[in-house]
Structures are given as C-alpha cells and as structure tokens.
C-alpha cells in the first residue's frame, strides 16, 4: 500500500508540473489555428466588398446639434454584414454586449483599457474631427463591435476617408503621401474567445488591418513579444542583418512588409511593455524601393511616433520588430 501511495504521489507531482505547460501549448496551437482561419475569412469577405471608404455619417457638433458618428456601425451593417456572417452588432457605448473585454493585456504585459474610439487606440493617428479634408490624420471615429458565428468578438475602428495605394496621393516626403493614416480604411481588434480570458495580445487577442479602398490589402501580423536591437538591411563584414536577426530570433518569424508594419504602427499601444518605448522607434520593413536612393539601395521604414513612412538606405541601422504571418 505504501508503494502505491508513493507512486500516486509521484504521478501527482509530475502532473502538477507538466500539465500547465501542456495546456499552454495546446492553447497556443488552438489560438494560432483560429487566428489563421479568422484572417482567411476576413480577407475573403473584404475582397468581396465594392470599396472600403464612404460608409456612415460624420458631422461635427454645432450650437444646435451634437456630433453624429455612425461610420463604424454603418461599415459593419451596410458593408461587412453583406459578406460576412455576423450575429450581433454593438455601438461604442455597449461594446461589452458583444463580448468585448473592458481591459486587455498588451504584448508586453501592461494593462490597456479597451479603446472606444480611434484616439483611444492611437492618439497620434488622429486629426481634427471637423476637418475630413485633413487627410494626413484619421478622424476620431467611435468604435463599434460585432460577434461572428464562430464566437469571435471583433471591435472595429473605421476611417471613411481612406485613400488609394501606397504610391498614390503624394510621394515620400510630400504631405499626406508619406503618412500612414490616409491608407488605413479599417482596423480590427479581435478576441478569439470573447471576454473569456486571458484577453492577452499575442494569445487570444490580435489585430487585423484593411488598407486602400479599392486595391485592398488585409494584413494580420502577429508580432514577437519584444522588439530586437538595431540592425542594417545590408550588413557589412558578414555581421547579422535585419532579416537574419528575425530568423535567429525564431525560425517562424520574418521582417514585416510595409503593409504589416503600417498595421503595427496603428496598433503600437497593443504592443507596449515596460521596456519597449515605441515613441521614438523607426523600424525596417522588408519592402524594397524600386528607385535607388541617392547613395544606394533603400527600403521602406516607418517612424512609429510620427506615423509616417519613409525611405532609408539599407546600410543604416534601425529597429527591428519581427512577426509571424
């Protein structure tokens, strides 16, 4: 009997040590599969929409009337609901009715209040509410949310005035041509299991961004838990370059392309941690520029603090933040 009790005790101790790790691995695989399936459904659905801009009503407040903002809700009801199966729709004052968690844990482990408007998501992206002609910034539109038939909760931040592709409406260094905001049509924060935990970015929570109204690009980068050091694209003397730094970090990770990096800039507050100050960071993308810069080949980069993209020679050393696709 003593031997049986000892064996059971040993089995119990081993189980207590290994089960949390096994459960965590199972959850990670499940979330990864769900994330890829959701991205596939979103990409297919959004590709069926005639255009991503122009939905809803936006009017500034006057002395006799309050501001009207139906943009995100109308984008869901008149746009997404036509191409995607949706169970429930909630306005910015009732997000929790759609299973939206009131607080998230960022990629870096900080607590982040679920934003109810674009300024809450990223204040640096927002311009004047009363000036839709200010195309260098997003308007501070209210969020809306919906539930899918698969049980995911999606919170929507919408820009009804989004513009064309990367090369349109200006060039690098010229007004709105070098700003991220005009390219962003809709940004989505998804929670794969609603308000049920852990409500953590990189696990059950992530983001999807749709940009350019007609030639639409939909991206869902899954960032690494931290940014890496400073590296060049072209490394001299066989030292590590930015691309190699990502594969060294983890073989599943890659340098983001320019669209993925724009998505990360919009959602930078979801990535913050105690040791990851993104306010001064300029990051490499894997997207090369066809034209050669004055002093050699160059690539697209994004300054997160200015919400702008630019061209940088490949021999410069800049920040790297790797992603999974």
**Nearest alpha-carbon partner for 300 in 66, 267, 309:** 309
Buried b (16+ CB within 10 A) or exposed e, 84-113: bebeebbbbeebeebbbbeebbbbbebebe
Residue 175: what pLDDT?
A: 42
Name the DSSP letter for residue 243.
Answer: H
Q: How confident is the model over 118-153, as pLDDT tens digits?
A: 989 998 888 654 555 455 667 788 999 999 998 999
Residue 298: what pLDDT?
A: 86
Rg (CA), the chain: 22
Residue 4: what pLDDT?
A: 66
Residue 236: what pLDDT?
A: 63
236: phi then psi, degrees, rounded to nearest 5: -85, 155
Residue 252: what pLDDT?
A: 93
Q: How confident is the model over 82-103, as pLDDT tens digits?
A: 999 999 999 999 999 999 999 9
Cα(208)–Cα(267) distance, integer angstroms: 9
pLDDT at 291 over 70: no
Decide: helix, strand or coil at residue 102.
Answer: coil
Cα(182)–Cα(150) distance, integer angstroms: 32
Q: Band of the pLDDT at 262, cuts 50, 70, 90?
A: very high
Decide: helix, strand or coil at residue 29.
Answer: helix
Domain ranges of the chain: 21-58+66-220, 230-324
Which tokens go with 84? 């995607």
Beta bridge partners of 210: 186, 218
């Amino acid at each position: 009997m003593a031997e049986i009790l000892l064996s059971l005790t040993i089995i119990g101790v081993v189980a207590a040590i290994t089960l949390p790790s096994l459960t965590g691995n199972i959850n990670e695989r499940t979330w990864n599969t769900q994330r890829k399936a959701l991205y596939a459904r979103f990409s297919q659905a959004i590709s069926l929409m005639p255009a991503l801009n122009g939905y809803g009503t936006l009017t500034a407040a006057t002395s006799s009337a309050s501001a009207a903002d139906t943009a995100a809700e109308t984008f869901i009801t008149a746009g997404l609901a036509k191409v995607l199966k949706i169970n429930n729709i909630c306005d910015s004052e009732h997000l929790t009715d759609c299973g939206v968690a009131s607080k998230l844990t960022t990629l870096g482990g900080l607590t982040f209040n679920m934003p109810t408007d674009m300024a809450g998501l990223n204040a640096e992206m927002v311009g004047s509410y009363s000036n839709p002609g200010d195309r260098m910034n997003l308007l501070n539109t209210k969020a809306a949310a919906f539930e899918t038939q698969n049980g995911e909760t999606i919170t929507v931040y919408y820009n009804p005035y989004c513009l064309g592709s990367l090369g349109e409406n200006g060039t690098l260094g010229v007004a709105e041509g070098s700003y991220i905001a005009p390219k962003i049509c809709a940004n989505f924060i998804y929670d794969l299991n609603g308000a049920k935990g852990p409500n953590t970015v990189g696990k059950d929570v992530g983001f999807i961004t749709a940009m350019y109204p007609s030639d639409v690009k939909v991206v869902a980068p899954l960032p690494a838990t931290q940014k890496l050091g400073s590296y060049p694209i072209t490394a001299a003397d066989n030292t590590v370059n930015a691309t190699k730094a990502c594969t060294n970090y983890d073989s599943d990770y890659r340098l983001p392309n320019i669209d993925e990096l724009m998505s990360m800039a919009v959602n930078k507050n979801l990535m913050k941690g105690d040791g990851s100050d993104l306010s001064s960071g300029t990051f490499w993308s894997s997207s090369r520029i066809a034209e050669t810069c004055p002093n050699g080949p160059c690539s697209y980069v994004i300054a997160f603090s200015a919400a702008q993209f630019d061209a940088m020679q490949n021999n410069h050393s800049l920040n790297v933040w790797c992603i999974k696709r």
